[in-house]
Amino acid sequence: MLPSETSVEKIILAEPRGFCAGVDRAVEAVRGALRDYGRPLYVRHQIVHNRFVLEALEREGAIFVDTLEEVPEGHRVIFSAHGVAPSEWDRAAERRLRVIDATCPLVTKVHSEVERYAEERNTVILVGHAGHEEVKGTLGVAPGKVLLVGTVEEAEAIEISDPDHVAAVTQTTLSVDDTRDIMATLKRRFPALATPKTDDICYATQNRQNAVKELVDVSDVVLVVGSKQSSNANRMVEVARMRGGRAFLVDSIADVEPEMIEGAKSLGLTASASSPEWLVQEIIGAFSNRGAAVELMKIKEERIHFPLPKPADE
């Protein structure tokens, strides 16, 4: 809990921050389906990694499930922004489920790349974090043909049976810097390595990480608003700390402890791609009420918009 007075004189607010086009699309897909079809509406896994968003959607009528077997036959279900393996589509068809696909188009791009590389008889290396929902879905695109690498050490150790036929793709929400080191290692070890023409890392992930780097240079402390289960939120904090910054991940104003901001006069503030803006404004309000001014630091303008997915009945 914040004390009645703090040393913070200025909040430096990063832009862009918060919801990316893929998250906004996924959340609106759920709300649109609830408006159009009513309850019950099932969602496979967390639509995005933010508990406040999930709690709000649950109040509106969304039912989050871990498996498609929990969805009654013939009902509507939404696939989350993280994407699913093709086997999940097969299960949905078997249960006659009406699917609304809210997979982020950038994740769909990675799936298409994996499918193409595998069809060309390549072993596909996926750079990503084990257990993440996006990674699970991508591994399932070509079972047995995709190998997961999460660190430079793993990239040094991985063995490929045919080094002349190998390709690499990445999870969209990784740290740009970490991915660069892993990919450099793979390219050194496998000169024939095929990679996509354009970077797999999400534009929003890149922009938010770049903004964090700028915040570190002008702030005494950086707060990243985001959930612990959010990959891109954790990467933002890592990027700040790698730059020598004093950075903390907070879910909301309730997580901001006096020790985090002790002695800080300038506070850098940003939010992960799955964090709603009202959480940021809540923190701004708390510090503004204690005398802090707000300064906007604009790094890049985002104009990307993804159309909503097609209704389940089409």
Q: Indicate the domain borders of the chain.
A: 10-19+202-298, 21-104, 106-189
Q: Is the pLDDT of residue 244 over 70?
A: yes
Architecture of the domain made up of 106-189 = 3-Layer(aba) Sandwich (3.40)
Q: Nearest-CA neighbor of 166 among 192, 199, 137?
A: 192
pLDDT band at 310 (very low <50, low <70, confident <90, very high): confident
Contact indicator for 170, 128 with CB cutoff of 8 Å: yes
Assigned CATH topology for domain 21-104: Rossmann fold (3.40.50)
Model pTM score: 0.90
pLDDT, greater one: 220 or 303: 220
pLDDT score, position 14: 98
pLDDT (tens digit per residue) in 42-81:
999 999 999 999 999 999 999 999 999 999 999 999 999 9
C-alpha distances (whole Å) from 63 to each of 43, 76, 89, 103 are: 6, 11, 19, 18
Averaged pLDDT of the chain: 95
The top-level CATH class assigned to 10-19+202-298 is: alpha beta
Rounded Cα distance, 276 and 146, in Å: 34
Dist. CA 221–CA 136, nearest whole Å: 35
pLDDT tens-digit map of 251-274: 999 999 999 999 999 999 999 999
Is 133 one of the catalytic residues? no
**Span 132-178, pLDDT tens digits:** 999 999 999 999 999 999 999 999 999 999 999 999 999 998 888 87
Fold identical between 10-19+202-298 and 106-189? yes
Q: Is the dihedral of CA 187, 103, 209, 51 positive or negative?
A: negative
**Of the candidates 71, 149, 138, which has an alpha carbon nearest to the alpha carbon of residue 103?**
138
Residue 312 predicted with pLDDT over 70 = no
Q: Which residues contact 180 (CB under 8 A, 6 or more apart)?
A: none
Give yes or no for residue 240 having a pLDDT over 70.
Answer: yes
CA distance 31 to 25: 10
The single residue of 88, 133, 134, 238 carrying the catalytic annotation is: 134
Percent of the chain predicted with pLDDT > 70: 99
pLDDT tens profile 272-290? 999 999 999 999 999 999 9
Is 60 exceeded by the pLDDT of residue 314? no
